[in-house]
Amino acid sequence: MPILALDSRELCDAEVDVVFLATPHETSIALAPRLVDAGKRVIDLSGAWRLGSAARTKATYGLSIDRPECFESAVYALVEINREKLRDASLASNPGCYPTASILAIHPLVKAGAIRLGTRPIIDATSGVSGAGRAPNARTTFGEVSLQPYGVLNHRHAPEIELHAGTGVVFTPHLGAYDRGILATIHVELGPGWTAARIDSLYREMYANERFVRLLPLGEWPSVAGVRHTNFCDLNWAVDESHGHLIVVSAIDNLVKGASGQAIQAMNVMHGLPEHLGLLDDGLGASALASKGGA
């Protein structure tokens, strides 16, 4: 297909079923409602619709939303958590990369009530320089890049993690000296009665049927190399029962599971296609797509 200059009117009139918006927040705010009104299903990779309300979006991103009613129908497109809601969604809001790695690690704990009351998970996460944007600057050039924290206590992904994980967190992002991938190390204070065996059962039950969440064997820890160029989230954990302390480690490729791959996974769910189509090669090729009449 040829690459064309953006024309919102032509896009609304085009005979397409789904539109991916890999656009700045402001562009997505303007385009998404028009496309939905025109009968398109929209998957937006910006942060415009992630926070569930105009007030939170204004406070976090400094953005004004002209059509706040769109939040009522927008579905947060973390498939492993919102699969059923996504099936009929007209507007899917693709999660951020740090939130994807963090929420998949702590959501089972929140859902089961495993976190000790009055405590917050501590998330220390490191991203490669592709997570720092495209604008050239000395901080992200090869000879200058260094492991360092940024956005301490004020990163815009913290409210997204808290909203969709359902718990307060202490989130500190870091810039790492590599090109792509996120590794998150998360510390959790466990409530009474949460043993290592119970935590193991919780994670294995939660993710037993999830194709893109891999629970690694004992002693094998997630790495950015292990998920590079894939849509997988790798998880592993350890429990210090004497102190009721859990460490969970999560790894994703920020450009795939943290962005475009997750968007394709959401599209597949929204259109009743095999969830891994276009993301894993199992011999289906174009046949499954053709059987659904195209997309």
Same domain? 268 vs 231: no
Same domain? 228 vs 265: no
Same domain? 38 vs 104: no
Residue 269 sits in a domain whose CATH number is 3.40.50.720
Same domain? 132 vs 167: yes
Residue 1 lies in a domain: no
Residue 148 sits in a domain whose CATH number is 3.30.360.10
Same domain? 234 vs 135: yes
Residue 2 lies in a domain: no
Same domain? 147 vs 235: yes
* Contact between residue 206 and residue 108 where contact means Cβ atoms under 8 Å apart: yes
Element (H, E) at 168: none
pLDDT reading at 96 higher than 90: yes
Residue closest to 195 by CA, chosen among 227, 152, 229, 242: 242
Residue 162 lies in a domain: yes
Element (H, E) at 183: strand 182-189
Burial of residue 117, with CB atoms counted within 10 A of its CB: 0-12 exposed, 13-18 middle, 19 or more buried: exposed
Residue-wise pLDDT tens digits, 200-243: 999 999 999 999 999 999 999 999 999 999 999 999 999 999 99
pLDDT reading at 152 higher than 90: yes
Same domain? 106 vs 236: yes
Taking the model in full, what pTM does it have?
0.92
* CA distances for 166 relative to 20, 128, 255, angstroms: 27, 27, 25
Residue 106 lies in a domain: yes
* Contact between residue 276 and residue 230 where contact means Cβ atoms under 8 Å apart: no
Element (H, E) at 291: helix 287-291
d(CA 238, CA 248): 7
Going by pLDDT thresholds of 50, 70 and 90, the confidence category of residue 265 is: very high
Q: Which of 12, 70, 97, 233 is catalytic?
A: 97
Same domain? 124 vs 238: yes
- The pLDDT value given to residue 4: 84
Same domain? 60 vs 189: no
Residue numbers of the domain that contains 239:
97-255
Amino acid at 15: E
Residue-wise pLDDT tens digits, 273-286: 999 999 997 654 44
Residue 45 lies in a domain: yes
Same domain? 102 vs 89: no
The total of structural domains in the chain comes to 2
* Contact between residue 184 and residue 124 where contact means Cβ atoms under 8 Å apart: yes
Going by pLDDT thresholds of 50, 70 and 90, the confidence category of residue 140 is: confident
Q: Which residue has the tokens 């958590």?
A: 81
Residue 279 lies in a domain: yes
Going by pLDDT thresholds of 50, 70 and 90, the confidence category of residue 92 is: very high
Amino acid at 119: T
Residue 215 lies in a domain: yes
Residue 122 lies in a domain: yes
Same domain? 75 vs 172: no
Active site (annotated) includes residue 97 = yes
Same domain? 43 vs 164: no
* CA distances for 176 relative to 115, 142, 169, 202, 254, angstroms: 29, 11, 21, 31, 13
170: which 2 tokens? 């202490």
